[in-house]
Structure 1
Amino acid sequence: MTAITGTVYDSSGQPVEGVNIQWSSNEDPPVSSHERGSRTIDDGSYRLVLHRGSWDVHGTKDGTGTEVETVVLGADDAVVDLHFP
């Protein structure tokens, strides 16, 4: 298992608390998908622990979504910051 950590920022660059972090596998067949698994804390940060592979990660809050970031996890942890448009 490998960790993805990051921070979610609003359009002005401020961290956002309470963002629902979602992820889905890009593997064939898909390893897993999760629509409600992690929420950002007061400093906008989050942490996911996932299997190695390719993942799409994004966040939603109040009906608005961040951009989708694709990350390929290997042996090392990854940092993926997300941004609202």
Structure 2
Amino acid sequence: MRRAHLALLVGVLALGACGGETPTSDADTPPPVLVQASVTGVVADSAGRPVPGALVQPKSLDDPAHPVPELAVLSGPDGRYEWHLAPGRYEFTATKDDRAGPPAEVTVVVGGTGQLDLRLP
């Protein structure tokens, strides 16, 4: 009897692992995002001094929008930042503490690097 229960349990587990998946097609799957472009720049204050530790965030302006591979990056001690993104149009903003700079736009192409300096008040 014990052997029969074990065989039944193994059969149920095997059947559960084999089916029940929802069929999909390649048409339902978005293409993978390949990072093929970069945006670099410096975050500076209104006097032109570099701002270290500023939060730099992009937003895709393309339709459909490109996913952004990270949430944000911080500017380095020299105010420099670098983003690796899919080619396209982006709007970037920089914030630090309670200061937010105006958005700025850049377009990057495959294999290219866009230069975009950002200002904080």
Q: Which residue of 62, 70, 77 maps to 1:27?
A: 62
Higher alpha-carbon Rg: 2
Higher relative contact order (CA 8 A, sep 6+): 1
Give the aligned partner of residue 37 of structure 1.
72
Write out aligned runs for 1:62-77 (5 A): 62-75=97-110, 76-77=112-113
TM-score between both structures, scaled by the size of structure 1: 0.91
Runs (5+) with no aligned partner, structure 2: 1-35
Say if 1:21 and 1:58, in contact at 8 Å, map to a contact too. Answer: yes
Say if 1:16 and 1:40, in contact at 8 Å, map to a contact too. Answer: yes
Q: Are 1:80 and 2:116 counterparts? A: yes
The two structures, once aligned, show a CA RMSD in angstroms of 1.6
Figure out how many residues of one structure are paired with residues of the other and give that number.
85
Q: CA deviation at 1:66?
A: 1.3
Runs (5+) with no aligned partner, structure 1: none
Q: CA deviation at 1:29?
A: 1.5
Q: Which has the higher helix share?
A: 2
Following the alignment from structure 1 to structure 2, what is the Cα–Cα distance between the partners of residues 35 and 82?
19
Moved over 2 A (4+): 32-36
